[in-house]
Structure 1
Amino acid sequence: MTTTTESGTGAATRLHTIGAVCERLRAEFPDISISKIRYLEDQGLLAPKRTRAGYRLFSEADVERLVTILRLQRDEFLPLRVIRDELRSPSADRAKRRAAGIAGVEDEIDMQELCGRAGVSIEFARQLEEYGLLAPRIEAGERLYRESEADIALACAKIARYGVDARHLRAFRTAAGRQSALIEQVVAPGLRSRNLERRKAALADLDMLAGVAQELAQLLLTRDLREVAER
């Protein structure tokens, strides 16, 4: 059930019962349940409104937050503790972008805004671009970057603080390129298909494989570094 209430400014606000939220999200998350949503609330990840009788009412923002949580669980295998920290931090927008998946549409920013968001110098950003870590789109001579490129620049800057320069950070780009090339071989026939349903299925496979590949890369890296620590 969906209800409409009036906000303090007189604007109408659509609110949804927990059952309506389940039905709405079941197509993307077949295992969603009322008990699971209640559990996420108990863990401090959701805070829906309550009626006088104690019934939960979810706003559109609540539903959007729930979708972000579920996608981060499904696609990036993040534990609830990490998801909670992400949503509480200034990087919450980054979490939403990641949760949007491969097919998600991103806004574009210019070099100046990228540097401001990542806290890096223009010189450092140009070095990252030189070694393939940043990939702008050039329009009328202006470099435009997806918002997630600022996240990449920020991550590179964090590693650079330990004395690793942009040239050596290229190793991460090379590894990612090899992984994406392998996955491309798997889904390319479907992506090139003229059949809309087959193409949609291929995009879904691409999104899923991206998440699993990221998990595998993280597990392998952790194993190797654990061996370094034990030497």
Structure 2
Amino acid sequence: MARSSAQAREPGAPTLLSIGQVLARLTAEFPDLTPSKLRFLEERQLICPARTESGYRKFSPSDLDRLRFVLTMQRDHYLPLKVIRGYLDDLDAGRAPELPGGSTFASPSILSTERRFQRDELVREAGATPQLLNDAVSSSLIAATDLYGEEALAVLRSLVELQRSGIEPRHLRGFRAAAERELGLIESALIPVARRKDASSRAKAGELAREIAGQLEIVRSSLIRSALSRLDP
């Protein structure tokens, strides 16, 4: 990977963070983040923190933005680490690559400002009604919480558009059941790795789960496109 972190801190350089400080800043957003996960991502060359003379890892603000980007791509887009690393390598080389699905980002740091919405704000931003959000929650399409993120906003906006076509949240309850079935498939596939109790295996299990979820998404999208083609006159 083209990017590397300096071993020594230059005068006037931004404050570097320890692993514990990184976890303190990110675990609210990414609860499954652990020191083992950080080391795993470093082994895969997704992040390159600086090292002190004693060998302790130190993370700069740009390392933090890069880490948040990687974790967001895993969580929200189910992208394998090799795909994320290829994207970051292209960014480091000065190119403007496109991620699978057509998403293009100028810089990983843009993901550090993800908004959070209270209930009324979410409804207003989505152009929805409070009842539509209630229906989405009762149909298990959006989780009930005090603060909602960008993903909840995207789902609620989609539900607004679907409602205009006569599709209500109650019609989509089967989506939750389908997601649970997919989760069962993923858990079955992870059994050989999950039996190993070491931290590295747990990190690998998390990555494998996201890879499988991404492949299932490709198959699902293909089936839907195939079915839609039969509707063409």
1:130 aligns to 2:131 (yes or no): no
Q: How does 1:1-231 map to 2 (within 5 A)?
A: 25=46, 29=82, 32=86, 41=95, 45=96, 69=98, 73=99, 77-78=100-101, 82-84=102-104, 87=105, 109-137=117-145, 143-187=146-190, 190-191=193-194, 193-230=196-233
SS of 2:148 mapped into structure 1? strand
Q: Matched residues in 2 for 1:215 and 1:135: separation?
A: 24
| Preserved CA contact (<8 Å) 1:192 1:199 | no
| Preserved CA contact (<8 Å) 1:191 1:203 | no
| Preserved CA contact (<8 Å) 1:118 1:154 | yes
Letter of the 2:154 partner, please give it.
D
Q: CA deviation at 1:162?
A: 0.7
- Structure 2 CA distance for partners of 1:32 and 1:165, relative to 1, 3 Å: closer
Task: Find the counterpart in structure 1 of residue 67 from structure 2.
Answer: none
SS of 2:165 mapped into structure 1? coil
Q: CA deviation at 1:151?
A: 1.7
Q: Percent identity among equivalent residues? A: 21
Q: Matched residues in 1 for 2:135 and 2:176: separation?
A: 13
Q: Matched residues in 1 for 2:4 and 2:200: separation?
A: 31
- Structure 2 CA distance for partners of 1:147 and 1:184, relative to 1, 3 Å: farther
Q: CA deviation at 1:218?
A: 0.5
Letter of the 2:228 partner, please give it.
L
Letter of the 1:178 partner, please give it.
R
SS of 1:83 mapped into structure 2? coil
Q: CA deviation at 1:194?
A: 2.8
Number of equivalent positions: 161
Q: Matched residues in 2 for 1:33 and 1:107: separation?
A: 24
TM-score by length of 2: 0.54
Q: CA deviation at 1:125?
A: 0.1
Q: Deviations over 1:123-161 (max 9, x none)?
A: 100011111111124xxxxx4434422222122222221
TM-score by length of 1: 0.54
Q: Deviations over 1:65-97 (max 9, x none)?
A: x6xx5xxx3xxx32xxx324xx59xxx97xx59
Structure 2 gap segments, 5+ residues each? 6-11, 15-43, 49-80
Letter of the 2:122 partner, please give it.
L
